[in-house]
Chain A
Amino acid sequence: MPGMKKSGDMTVGIDIGSRTTKALVWNGEEVLSRSMLSTGWTPEKSASVAFEKTLQTAAISPSEVKRTMVTGYGRGSISFADESVTEITAHARGVSYLLPETKTLIDIGGQDSKAIIIDDEALVQDFAMNDRCAAGSGKFLEFLALTMELSVQDFSELAFSSKNPMQISSICTVFAESEVLSMLAEGVAREDVASGVHRSIALRVAQMAHSLHPQVPIAFSGGVARNRCMIREIGVALGGDISVPEMPEYAGALGAAIIARESL
């Protein structure tokens, strides 16, 4: 990459999401270490634990870190960080690094989802966010998995096996739950109900993305991007192939670390 500092200058990116906090050490070429833990009620504390853990893993001392950049919803309360950046910019930067061709990025996190249009020079051109309600986020998925008494992992695997996703029309978590329960009571196949839930999220996200006139290639990041069924449904909803970067939940932290290094 042009303008990159020589390796050895290490930066740390920390992404404090509503559900999990991720931290990693970056030396300009590779990720030296990563750590992830639950954010809980004290973002400041989880951020510092994640920071210490990832430094420990990389076997470096805090004084060797040139700059620490935080992102994510909890970034405002972190006093030990040098700078902060929004998760929109951070995710776009991280994914552009991992999958440089990306034009459209879908990110689904614990509490929100976003669609980001990335221009030819890896900058955010436009974005849309859904952060008003749980529908369209990892939280919605978790809730309905719980309704069907499944772990999120099993829920998505079950959904992936379905060939005939049901249509879930409710976008409100509470109504969606009763819709799911009544379908199950009517004897609809469990996998079809589960994939229906995935599809409903994918449709909401796609609807948001459509207003931005998305172009291919499309990438998908965030914790939910590990969900095979969701990848498939997003692809169907957006009408294109979906690429998922390696370790998609770390895309924000990586982006933050890269931006930190660029600003050295």
Chain B
Amino acid sequence: MTEPRQIDFRQWHRLFQQVPDRLVEEIRYYRHLPQAEWSQYLFPPSTHVVYGNRLLRKLKFDNSQAALRLWGFVMSEGERIYRARQAGMKVIAVMGDLGAVTPLVYSFPNIVAFYPDCLWWTPFLMESRELFDEAGQLGLGEDCCFVRASLGAFSRKAYFPKPDLCVGTVGATCDDMATVMSEAEQLGVDIHYFELPHRHDGDTDKTALSGYLENQYQELCRRLEQATGETFSPDRFRETVQKVNRMRSLIAEIKDLSGAPAASPMGAVEMMNMEFAALSYYGDLDECLAVLTEFRDLMKFRANSGQGYQNQDLRLVWVTPPADPLLMNYIEELGGRVVGSEYLIHQTTPIIDTKKDPFEALAEAHLKATLMGSSAYRVNLVIEQVERTHADGVIISGVFGSSHCPYETAPIISALRQKGIPVLSFDVVAPGKRRLQSQIFNRMEAFSESLKARKKRRAG
């Protein structure tokens, strides 16, 4: 096994020569379908560079086969969803649900779910303003969160097939998302609104909320039956949930491994890709499990044998890691490593009880999600994570215009400062604004300088 290293796309291109043909041939998605040429996905980043994902030219990638597989899987999702439709599967978009309703969707046969919100990544990946400008022309400009890119994608009709149903959450969720959905509805997308109940603090009586959520899930289930022409099966539901639970435990395990004491066993960008798998399993639950299992095994091996990247000593927790993965690379270049992350996608973390009634189990898991709790609850989680991972500092990145950012960020910063935990906070800037981005780089560098100086002093 080769020493863990972060390499660029050129180096991956050359290293790819050493990947056995057999693996390229074997590693495929949709294994339940007759195997077509298109189902291979183990390809180097240079492939995606050629197809316009310009940011990949600047990123650093982990040099393992497991990471290559993860990247290949992530980068092929767009095509995969189209192939699903070509193969006669139903395509369900799940918007703003933060991973809550996907287990139910996948318990229907012959179906894939995808997460249009993640299109926010595309403008960054392509270093392009196309999707933002498209959304702008439809009325969602700079004052709206980056999720507006998904409206651009709906409008262009070139990023995913028309969903057979789009499940969109409203209520206690991002307002920008709701705006995107109502615009998408104008474009002829069939939308089912799933209403999230208000946030609660830990002490609230959850019975009422639970009943409310159960109703929402039952309603959704009926809509899915209509859209797919299939009947809901509790057995299949249990089977699916068992897989989903496995995935959730895998992700929790992998996150723990990222804090390995000796050295960072994995890049922050790969960790982000891994965590986002929880949202919609990148369109193939079974293959996603296989990808994450290989990824976990590698990280376990590295963590146990003390292998990892050199010269990354500052331990950092990153709150809502950015749409711009370049920043995560950059902090690593400055000697940082991300040992913990705190995303908004908490609905994807709780284990769902397979012994209970399906809708009750879904509601119960949903209510455990931290984002269903108050801001103060989330603040405590961040602090708890900082302490558990022995972090030297915290980075909080937000999105200008994103409705949840202001009331999440301020209390976290203030709580961290009171505890004397160094914190850096900034808003990620959209592609094409070089000056603003270089200012973020500057702050990150200053932050790392101050953390290093402190560490040095502590060391004597």
Chain A residues close to B by CB (< 8 Å): 73, 85-89, 112, 121, 123-127, 129, 131-132, 211-213
Contact = CB atoms under 8 A, between A and B. Distances in A.
Contacts of A129: 439, 442-443
A20 B422 CA distance: 31
The 9 closest A-B CB pairs, nearest first, are: A88-B446, A124-B450, A86-B446, A89-B449, A131-B439, A123-B453, A86-B445, A86-B442, A86-B449
A85 B453 CA distance: 12
Contacts of B446: 86-89, 124, 127
Given A73-B442, A121-B457, A213 B417 contact: yes
B393 to A, nearest CB: 10
The secondary structure that dominates the A interface is loop
Given A123-B454, A126-B417, 14 more contacts: A85-B449, A86-B449, A88-B443, A88-B450, A89-B450, A112-B439, A123-B450, A124-B449, A126-B423, A127-B446, A129-B439, A131-B442, A132-B436, A132-B439
A124 B453 contact: yes
Contacts of A211: 413
Interface range on chain B: under 10, 10 to 19, 20 to 34, or 35 or more? 10 to 19
29 contacts: A73-B442, A86-B442, A86-B445, A86-B449, A88-B442, A88-B443, A89-B449, A89-B450, A89-B453, A112-B439, A121-B457, A123-B454, A123-B457, A124-B446, A124-B449, A124-B453, A125-B450, A126-B417, A126-B422, A126-B423, A126-B450, A127-B446, A127-B450, A129-B439, A129-B442, A131-B442, A132-B436, A132-B439, A213-B417
A79 B436 CA distance: 23
Nearest to B445: A86
B124 to A, nearest CB: 19
Contacts of B449: 85-86, 88-89, 124
Nearest to A212: B417
A158 B411 CA distance: 42
A131 B265 CA distance: 35
Interface in B416-460: 417, 422-423, 436, 438-439, 442-443, 445-446, 449-450, 453-454, 457
Contacts of B439: 112, 129, 131-132
Contacts of B457: 121, 123
A132 B446 CA distance: 17
A219 to B, nearest CB: 17
Given A86-B449, A89-B450, A125 B442 contact: no
B457 to A, nearest CB: 6
Nearest to B423: A126
A88 B457 CA distance: 18
Nearest to B457: A121
B250 to A, nearest CB: 37
A159 to B, nearest CB: 29
Nearest to B456: A123
Contacts of A125: 422, 450
A4 B341 CA distance: 40
Interface string B195-217: 00000000000000000000000
Most buried by A among B413, B423, B436, B439: B439
Contacts of A131: 439, 442
Contacts of B450: 88-89, 123-127
Contacts of A132: 436, 439
A92 to B, nearest CB: 8
Contacts of A126: 417, 422-423, 450
B172 to A, nearest CB: 27
Contacts of A121: 457
Most buried by A among B443, B450, B453, B454: B450
Interface string B401-418: 000000000000100010
A112 B442 CA distance: 12
A263 B417 CA distance: 30
B234 to A, nearest CB: 52
Interface in B9-66: none
A260 B438 CA distance: 24
Contacts of A86: 442, 445-446, 449
